A and B are shown apart, each in its own frame.
Chain A
Amino acid sequence: AQKVTQAQTEISVVEKEDVTLDCVYETRDTTYYLFWYKQPPSGELVFLIRRNSFDEQNEISGRYSWNFQKSTSSFNFTITASQVVDSAVYFCALSETTSGTYKYIFGTGTRLKVLA
């Protein structure tokens, strides 16, 4: 069963539009962490944000914001006023401990294309 689901395979928007990338996760742990990474064409995964399971406060960093809702097991990522440089693949990830083993699980990614 997929533990981190990013249902949107690819999204295209026009520059300056707002866009939300969805992430739904599944875990039985009470302590877990959620992450977002950006992978530009160069290939390196760039860490964007980490959120722990006890902190449901939304986070805003410049044009980026994150909405964490435990009730729906979602950790969505919104880019406001998108720019061409935001074009990349974005990955959501879950860190949990299953049967005493630590696991870091990635979703399949959402490719975002921002058109000029």
Chain B
Amino acid sequence: KAGVTQTPRYLIKTRGQQVTLSCSPISGHRSVSWYQQTPGQGLQFLFEYFSETQRNKGNFPGRFSGRQFSNSRSEMNVSTLELGDSALYLCASGASGGVTDTQYFGPGTRLTVL
């Protein structure tokens, strides 16, 4: 079974631009969660999607948004990029998105904002 894939793996943008990251979960998984990882803040939860609906959201500004498609693939968008958005963005896939779920992570997208 193929694992979680994320594209692109690396991205360099400048302040004020916007960016879209993509995540394809494990086949059959319906939950996709997004995390931001920075050296100072650790792993921070962005949001979770299940069956195309956002079920959970972390404490991030509205510049961070996402969506999930009918095939469970998910995209995350960050608008008006700031230097502080430089981070590793990790996507996690889960079968059902409930408390019993194990989250399986992709390799991440490393975003650098100049």
- Interface residues of A, Cβ cutoff 8 Å to B: 29, 31-33, 35, 37, 42-47, 50, 52, 91, 93, 95-97, 101-106, 108-109
- CB pairs A–B below 8 angstroms (30 shown): A32-B99, A33-B99, A33-B100, A33-B102, A35-B102, A35-B103, A37-B105, A42-B107, A43-B88, A43-B107, A43-B110, A46-B105, A47-B103, A47-B104, A52-B100, A91-B43, A95-B101, A97-B99, A101-B55, A101-B56, A102-B97, A102-B98, A102-B101, A103-B56, A104-B33, A104-B45, A104-B101, A106-B35, A108-B42, A109-B43
Chain B interface, >50% SS class? strand
Establish whether residues A44 and B108, one from each chain, have CB atoms under 8 Å apart when the complex forms: yes
Q: How far is the CA of A8 from the CA of B89 in the complex (A)?
A: 24
Q: Which of A29, A102, A106 makes the CB contact (< 8 A) with B56?
A: A102
Q: How far is the CA of A31 from the CA of B101 in the complex (A)?
A: 12
Establish whether residues A45 and B90, one from each chain, have CB atoms under 8 Å apart when the complex forms: yes
Chain B residues lying within 8 Å of A33, measured Cβ to Cβ, are 99-100, 102
Q: How many residues of B contact A (CB 8 A)?
A: 24
Q: From residue 65 to 114 of chain B, which have CB atoms closer than 8 A to chain A?
A: 88, 90, 92, 97-108, 110
Establish whether residues B99 and A102, one from each chain, have CB atoms under 8 Å apart when the complex forms: yes
Establish whether residues A45 and B105, one from each chain, have CB atoms under 8 Å apart when the complex forms: yes
Q: How far is the CA of A109 from the CA of B44 in the complex (A)?
A: 12
Chain A residues lying within 8 Å of B45, measured Cβ to Cβ, are 103-105
- Shortest A51–chain B CB gap in Å is 11
Chain B residues lying within 8 Å of A97, measured Cβ to Cβ, are 99
Chain A residues lying within 8 Å of B102, measured Cβ to Cβ, are 33, 35, 47, 50
Establish whether residues A109 and B105, one from each chain, have CB atoms under 8 Å apart when the complex forms: no
Q: Which residue of B lies closest to A107 (CB)?
A: B42
Closest 6 CB pairs of A and B: A45-B105, A106-B43, A44-B107, A43-B108, A108-B42, A97-B99
